[in-house]
Amino acid sequence: MNSAPSLVIVSGHSGAGRTTVMKALEDLGFYCVDNLPVVLLGPFVDLFGEGVSRLAAVIDVREGDFLDDFPGVADNLRSRGVLRELLFLEADEAELQTRFDATRRVHPLAAGEGVRAGIRREAAILAPIAERADRILDTTRMNVHDLKRFVTRHFSGAPATDRLTVDLVSFGFRYGPPEEADLMIDVRFLPNPNFEPELRDRDGSDPEVAAWVLEDVRTVAFLERFFDFVGYLLPLYEREGKAYLTLAIGCTGGRHRSVAVANALERHLCELKISARVTHRDADRQRRIDS
């Protein structure tokens, strides 16, 4: 006799990626049902007592009054050892607004008041589900491929074939830190080429500027510790199923020190066969302003 099936419940904000998650679960062999009434979750599991080991269901605001029954139903499924995970997807308001604008979809709770009003109303209604979630996944900076990769890693039980991608962003604190940063490093304590007349007008990608910054004894000591720190963190993020990490490196103007350090870290990660890509947000900003 087969053991009882395990159930994954997917919930979260409209536009945060529920459909993408369900498609990825189907690819992994889950039997998936969208918008199943909460009160039917128990019978749904019982129906597949034998023959299907992995089930998934979406629970969202389309449930209406059925959502009031969710806490009791979820607690019952947990007590039976059936509920494997409740995954809740979210994204920030601006990103959700952008996604609805791009697809020209109508938010289910907009009610003629606009997408933002619908997003906030939905978040309030789903709050009791979010509180019971085993994992809350922020998809704000995830694309479809990132989200599918997460599902595959997290639910397949197999070793991941794709590793974490690291986005490196150099920036100037003068212009504000990048909002998308997961980690932020301030390198304004390093020697500043801006005070060297022959280097001032070149950026940190210039070989002479990079050498001036990176070969200083203070930078050498910092990079040794910094590389070790990053090397310690990345496997931990991978283990959590994170698809990518944005690491921002800032100096005063984002032109010299942060650029040189970001380039050095990119080279180091590439040597370790870790996917990394670098963006120099502010390296050319002053030149653009002057022109």
Residue 248 amino acid letter: A
Burial class (CB in 10 A: 0-12, 13-18, 19+), 54: middle
Give yes or no: residues 145 and 177 share one domain: no
149 and 183 belong to one structural domain: no
| pLDDT score at 259 | 97
Give pLDDT, residue 50: 63
Could you tell me the CATH number of the domain that includes residue 10?
A: 3.40.50.300
Whether residue 110 is found in the same domain as residue 239 = no
Q: Is residue 1 part of a domain?
A: no
Domain boundary among 156, 177, 208: 156
> Same domain, yes or no, for 121 and 261?
no
CB atoms within 10 A of CB 105: 13
For residues 225 and 267, membership in a common domain is answered with: yes
Whole-angstrom CA distances from 270 to 166, 208, 267, 273, 274 are 10, 22, 5, 5, 5
| pLDDT tens over the chain, length 291 residues | 446 678 999 999 998 999 999 999 998 889 999 988 888 888 888 887 666 778 999 988 888 777 888 888 988 988 888 888 999 999 888 888 888 888 777 787 777 777 788 888 888 989 989 998 988 888 887 888 778 878 887 887 544 445 678 989 999 999 999 888 889 999 999 999 999 999 999 999 999 999 999 999 999 999 999 999 999 999 888 777 677 789 999 999 999 999 999 999 999 999 988 888 899 999 988 654 433
Asked which of 86, 121, 156 is the last residue of a domain, the reply is 156
Model confidence, pTM: 0.60
Residue that finishes a domain, picked among 156, 179, 206: 156
Tell me the C-alpha distance between 141 and 206, whole Å.
31
Judgement on whether residues 185 and 269 belong to the same structural domain of the protein: yes
Asked if 79 and 221 sit in the same domain, the reply is no
Residue 98 falls inside a structural domain: yes
Distance from C-alpha of 48 to C-alpha of 54, rounded to nearest angstrom: 9
Contact between residue 149 and residue 243 where contact means Cβ atoms under 8 Å apart: yes
**Are the CB atoms for 74 and 83 separated by under 8 Å?**
yes
Do 149 and 38 lie in a common domain?
yes
Residues 269, 232 within the same domain? yes
Residue 90 CA to residue 269 CA, distance in Å, equals 30
pLDDT of residue 252: 95
If one counts the domains in the chain, the total is 2
Mapping DSSP to helix (H, G, I), strand (E, B) and coil, where does residue 3 land?
coil
Would residue 196 count as lying in a domain?
Answer: yes
Domain with 189 in it: 165-290
Same domain, 141 and 186: no
pLDDT given at position 117: 84
Q: Quick one: 102 and 193 in the same domain? A: no
Confidence at residue 160, expressed as pLDDT on a 0 to 100 scale: 46
Q: What is the dihedral of CA 67, 70, 72, 78, to 10 degrees?
A: 180
Do 131 and 256 fall into the same domain? no
Residue 51 is predicted with a pLDDT of: 65
pLDDT of residue 289: 42
Alpha-carbon span 239 to 69, nearest angstrom: 34
